[in-house]
Amino acid sequence: MSDLPVPLALEQIPPGTRAWQAADAERWRAAGPGRWADPLWPFLALLATAVWSIAEAPYPVCTTAIPCTTDWPGVSLATIEVLTLVLLRRHPALALPGLVVSVGGLLLDDAPDGSPGLLAASSVALLLAALYAAATLIHRLVCVRQQQLVALEAADGARAPLPGPAGTFRRGRGSFALASLLLAVSVFAVWQGERDASAFDERVSRATPATARVVESDDEGGTLTVRSEALGTHTVEVLFPEAHPVGSHLDLLVDGDWIRPAAEPYDTFGWELLLLVSSVPGLAFLVNGLVARRRAARLRAEPAPVLRVLLASRPNDARTWLHAADDRAAERPLLSFHTRYVFEEDHPEDDFDPDDLAEDEDDDFDEAGEAPRLREAVLYGSPHAGAELVLVSALEEDGPLTECTVSPARPAPLLRPETTSRRRPTADVVAALPLSREPLVWSADTGARIKGLGFLLMGVFVLASAWGDGFSWRWIVAGLALPWHLSAAATTLNWRVVADDKGLWLCGAWRVRHVPWDAVKAVSHVDDGIRVGIPDNELRLSPTGWSWLARRLGRRSTALDAAESLRVLVHHPELRPRTSAGHHGLPLGPYLAAAAVLWAGAQVFLR
Q: What is the pLDDT of residues 194-244, one digit of tens each?
A: 888 888 777 777 778 888 888 888 776 678 888 887 778 888 877 777 777
Q: What is the pTM of this model?
A: 0.66
> Which range, of 15-19, 235-239, 300-304, averages the lowest pLDDT?
235-239
pLDDT for 61? 67
Give the pLDDT score at 436: 53
pLDDT of residue 512: 92
Among 39-53, 339-353, 585-599, the minimum mean pLDDT is found in: 339-353
| Residue 398 pLDDT > 70 | no
Is the pLDDT score of 67 beyond 50? yes
Mean pLDDT confidence for 87-104: 88
Structure confidence at residue 265 (pLDDT): 65
Flag whether pLDDT at 21 surpasses 60.
yes
pLDDT bracket for residue 286 (50, 70, 90): very high
- Percentage of the chain modeled with pLDDT above 90: 22
- With a cut of 80, say whether residue 413 has pLDDT above it: no
pLDDT tops 90 at residue 19? yes
The residues, ordered by sequence, that sit 6+ positions from 354 with a Cβ below 8 Å of its Cβ are 318, 338, 406, 407
- Write the CA distances from 34 to 29, 38, 96, 167, integer angstroms: 10, 7, 19, 35
Q: Across all residues in the chain, what is the average pLDDT?
A: 80
Higher pLDDT, 428 or 501: 501
* Mean pLDDT across 291-306: 88
pLDDT confidence of residue 353: 53
Antiparallel, parallel or unpaired: β 223-228 and 208-218: antiparallel
Is residue 429 predicted with pLDDT exceeding 80? Answer: no
Q: Is 315's pLDDT higher than 70?
A: no
CA distance 605 to 607: 6
Question: Do you know the residue count of the chain?
Answer: 607
What is the CA 518 to chain-centroid distance, rounded?
A: 39
**In the predicted structure, residue 55 carries a pLDDT above the cut 80:** no
Is cis: bond before 543, omega within 30 of 0?
yes
Can you tell me whether residue 28 is helix, strand or coil?
helix
- Min mean pLDDT across 22-31, 182-191, 366-375, 548-557 is at 366-375
Residue range 508-537, pLDDT digits in tens: 999 999 999 998 888 888 878 898 988 878
Structure confidence at residue 173 (pLDDT)? 80
Local structure of 584: helix, strand or coil: coil
Instruction: Return d(Cα 86, Cα 91) in angstroms, integer.
Output: 9
The closest alpha carbon to 392, from 384, 407, 403, 383, belongs to 403
Quote the CA–CA distance of 284 and 179 in Å, as a whole number.
8
The CATH superfamily label for domain 162-299 reads: Nucleic acid-binding proteins (2.40.50.140)
Separation between Cα atoms, residue 66 and residue 583, nearest integer Å? 68
Q: What's the pLDDT band for 114 if we cut at 50, 70, 90?
A: very low
The residue among 313, 315, 208 whose CA lies nearest residue 262 is 208
The yes-or-no verdict on residue 415 having pLDDT over 60 is: no
Report which DSSP code applies to 310. E
For residues 484-493, average pLDDT: 89
Once rounded to an integer, what is the mean pLDDT over residues 100-118? 63
Q: Where are the domains of the chain?
A: 10-17+303-417, 30-157, 162-299, 426-606
CA 414 from chain centre, in angstroms, equals: 21
